[in-house]
Amino acid sequence: MAAAQQIAPRLGAASTCAALGVAKATYYRRRKPRPAAVTVRPSPPRTLPTAERTAVLDLLHEPRFVDLAPAQVYATLLDEQRYLCSVRTMYRILEENQEVRERRNQRRHPNYAAPQLLATAPNQLWSWDITSARPSGPTSTSTSSSTSSAVTSSAGWSLTAKPPPSQRSSFAKLACARASFRDSSPFMPIVARR
């Protein structure tokens, strides 16, 4: 970057940045002095005093207002001919006290287990796509299951690694013949070895 800053005044910023592989935006951003550290913003002169902020918070904690939004509290107070602060100030006071959140009880949904399909004999389970099937057994290969339900077997079968193309067609033809399907069937049988 130092080289770009030295050469750019003579050759131009665009050509220098292009020659050095530096983005022009980076060149111009680095030329500017960095801003000073962020200073704490002073409190506006019309800020409510601490005593009044405490009174507003106590009012929002009253049983009749505890389940209402600040806009509803504001409207109710205006109907009673009382004005303490704006709706936005009520939200600011609640936020300072970490009370701005969903105040109603939220239902926690349980974690449901993904459905498991189980084949105990040949021709019981057919799948459109077996890429996410979880094979079982010592000769199985591990695949990741991300979107569809997993397929497992407890009859001593296992899904095998991807066979060569010549064997793929023979597996598919054999399975389609056993199930009395034509070769053009869109379903891919889960071929298992015994």
Q: Are 86 and 138 found together in one domain? A: no
**pLDDT band with cut points at 50, 70 and 90 for residue 176:** low
Residue 89 in this model has a pLDDT that exceeds 90: yes
Q: Read off the pTM.
A: 0.38
Residue 156 is assigned to a structural domain of this protein: yes
Residue 113: phi and psi, rounded to 5, are -75, 145
Q: Are 124 and 184 found together in one domain? A: yes
Give the DSSP per-residue string, 94-154: HHHTT--S--SPPPPPP-PPPPEEEE-STTS-EES--TT----STT-------SSPEEEE-
Residue 43 is assigned to a structural domain of this protein: no
Residue 179 is assigned to a structural domain of this protein: yes
Residue 80 in this model has a pLDDT that exceeds 80: yes
As for how many domains the chain has, the answer is: 3
Residue 108 is assigned to a structural domain of this protein: no
Q: Are 22 and 60 found together in one domain? A: no
Q: Are 184 and 139 found together in one domain? A: yes
**pLDDT band with cut points at 50, 70 and 90 for residue 79:** very high
Q: Which of 40-49, 74-83, 163-172 has the lowest mean pLDDT?
A: 163-172
Q: Are 127 and 168 found together in one domain? A: yes
- What confidence score (pLDDT) does residue 121 get? 78
Q: Are 120 and 169 found together in one domain? A: yes
Range of the domain at 80: 50-96
Residue 104 is assigned to a structural domain of this protein: no
Task: Convert the pLDDT of each residue in 41-55 to its tens digit.
Answer: 888 888 999 999 999
What is residue 89's three-state secondary structure? helix
Q: Are 128 and 63 found together in one domain? A: no
Residue 129 is assigned to a structural domain of this protein: yes
Q: Are 132 and 184 found together in one domain? A: yes
Q: Are 90 and 133 found together in one domain? A: no
Q: Are 86 and 135 found together in one domain? A: no
Q: Rounded to the nearest 5 degrees, what angle is found at the Cα of 19, between the Cα atoms of 17 and 22?
A: 35
Residue 45 is assigned to a structural domain of this protein: no
Q: Are 81 and 135 found together in one domain? A: no
Residue 191: C-alpha distances to residues 95, 103, 126, 150, 167 (Å): 60, 54, 10, 15, 12
* Half-sphere exposure (Cβ direction) of 64: Cα atoms closer than 13 Å: 6
Select the more confidently predicted residue: 62 or 112. 62
Residue 21 is assigned to a structural domain of this protein: yes
CA atoms of 60 and 22, how far apart (whole Å) = 56
CA dihedral 114, 115, 121, 126 (to 10 degrees): -100
Q: Are 124 and 86 found together in one domain? A: no
Task: Convert the pLDDT of each residue in 107-140 to its tens digit.
Answer: 888 888 887 777 777 777 776 665 655 555 554 4
